[in-house]
Amino acid sequence: MSILVSNSLARGLRRERAVDTRTADRQWLHWAWLPVLAGLGLSLLGIAAISTTEPVLAQRQCGFLIVGMLAAAFVGAQQWRWMRRWAWILFAVNLAFLVLLLIPFVPDSIVRPRNGARRWINLGALDFQPSELIKLTWVVAMAAWMRTTAHVKRFSGIIATIVVTLVPVGLIILQPDLDSALLFAPVLLVMLLAAGARVKYLLIIACIAVVLAPCSYPILKKHQRDRIDTLIAQIVGDTRLNNGNGFQSSRAVTLTAAGGIVGSGKDESGALIHYNRLPEEHTDMIFAVIVCRWGLLGGLALWALAAMYAFGAFMVGVRAGTMFGRLVAVGIGAMVFLQLMVNTGMTIGVLPVSGMTLPFVSYGGSSLVCLWITTSVLFALASRRSRGFDLDA
């Protein structure tokens, strides 16, 4: 009997020590709070902007925000090591969802086509867009691969990462969604630099890409070529396309200019948006709504929140105790910030119009929930107390 009691006491002490160790390994004051607060600020700004013309959609976006934050709370409470362990499995499952979208005999009740594109899977109350989640699972898978510096020190290792990246990129292009697919290239470049890839190899690949880029123009779809032609026309001051292919871009630029410094207010900006018939005002072109309603100050506030998010993600990477954590944090920060830069750039007429949404701000449940899950990954990484840097962990 005494032996049984002593054994049970020993097991209890071991469990208590394990719990104490797990608790001691977590810290609650860290840089990931910056992306969390920035994401919340951007989400609330988006809801307010959507309510300018679509109050019902704004209420639905509030519901999506709650779901996203609950999902983030669950993921952020987990140990970060499961991500590396399951990285390739999650990536493969996500790729399977992208393949499902392209199977022609899958009924519309499961895959919902919109404007000729098959990007959404019907989940009842929420339409799931796999191309949103693939951004996270791809970053995690690439970080798991590149955490061993030897992989990216060799030219063949860099080519391997590009080949793997081309798989989701190709599937997304076939939806078709060229705009989202193009986001992977600059993020991969940032991650390769953070992983210690040789700059001369990256320069060689970049030069080849720049030379070959113009050759892709003839194989682009007509609407994609029209966007490039419209941008060139805007740059040279040609207004002949403003009522045709350039209508969306010209309306966005007009409304952005109408906001002035402090904006037009809710009622006046709503009337201006309605009068100018701005397409996709609650999704792709929501930055024009923000600047029209709150002026230049509103646009600068959005950019300040975006910079806060990117800086917080960068600092999570700097303070990470592993190469894997560093690459995941840098990849997430680059993905969100570059997407925001492209969206605002197209709204003010310095980039071709695309279907790329504004992170946390544009209407869309799938996008918002995935972004909050992505942010919670930063939180999970930063919550781990570092005891030195482990290159291969």
Question: Token match 């993600």: residue?
Answer: 313
What's the pLDDT score for residue 237? 57
Cis preceding linkage at 176, omega within 30: yes
14-28, 227-241, 317-331, 369-383: lowest mean pLDDT where?
14-28
Q: How confident is the model at residue 149 (pLDDT cuts 50, 70, 90)?
A: low
Token digits of residue 294: 């709150």
**Beta-carbon count within 10 A of 262 CB:** 11
What's the pLDDT score for residue 311? 96
The helix or strand, by DSSP H or E, that contains position 102, with its residue range, turns out to be: helix 81-102
Question: 114 or 363, which is more confident?
Answer: 363
* Average pLDDT score over the chain: 82
Burial 79-105 (b: 16+ CB within 10 A, else e): ebeebbeebeebbeebbebbeebeeee
Question: 77 or 376, which is more confident?
Answer: 376
Beta strands in the chain (DSSP E): 111-114, 117-122, 127-128
Across 157-186, average pLDDT: 86
What's the pLDDT score for residue 224? 66
Across 55-66, average pLDDT: 94
Q: How confident is the model at residue 76 (pLDDT cuts 50, 70, 90)?
A: confident
For Cα atoms 320, 300, 251, give the angle at the middle one, nearest 5 degrees: 120
What's the pLDDT score for residue 21? 40
Residue 192 pairs in a beta bridge with none
Sign of CA dihedral 105, 109, 111, 113: positive
Q: How confident is the model at residue 389 (pLDDT cuts 50, 70, 90)?
A: low
**Distant-in-sequence, close-in-space partners of 220: CB < 8 Å, separation ≥ 6:** 178, 228
Model confidence at 8: pLDDT above 70: no
d(CA 219, CA 224) in angstroms, rounded, equals: 10
pLDDT digits (tens, 9 = 90+) for 213-269: 777 766 666 666 766 666 666 665 555 555 555 677 778 888 888 888 888 888 888
Q: How confident is the model at residue 49 (pLDDT cuts 50, 70, 90)?
A: very high
The pTM for the full model equals 0.85
d(CA 130, CA 27) in angstroms, rounded, equals: 32
- Tell me which amino acid residue 144 is: A
104-108, 191-195, 379-383: lowest mean pLDDT where?
104-108
**Beta-carbon count within 10 A of 148 CB:** 15
What's the pLDDT score for residue 390? 55
Percent of the chain with pLDDT over 90: 36
Gyration radius (Cα) of the chain, Å:
23
Model confidence at 4: pLDDT above 60: no
DSSP, residue by residue, 262-298: T---HHHHHHHHHHHT-TTTTTTTHHHHHHHHHHHHH
What's the pLDDT score for residue 322? 87
Question: 340 or 228, which is more confident?
Answer: 340
Token digits of residue 388: 């030195």
Across 314-327, average pLDDT: 90
Question: 108 or 273, which is more confident?
Answer: 273
Token digits of residue 35: 């992306």
Q: Which of 114-128, 249-263, 279-293 has the highest mean pLDDT?
A: 279-293
pLDDT digits (tens, 9 = 90+) for 364-385: 888 999 999 999 999 989 887 6
32-36, 273-277, 336-340: lowest mean pLDDT where?
273-277
d(CA 280, CA 301) in angstroms, rounded, equals: 22
pLDDT digits (tens, 9 = 90+) for 133-147: 999 999 999 999 888
Question: Token match 């040789």: residue?
Answer: 198
DSSP, residue by residue, 213-252: GGGGGGGS-HHHHHHHHHHHHHHHT--TTTTTTTHHHHHH
Model confidence at 212: pLDDT above 90: no
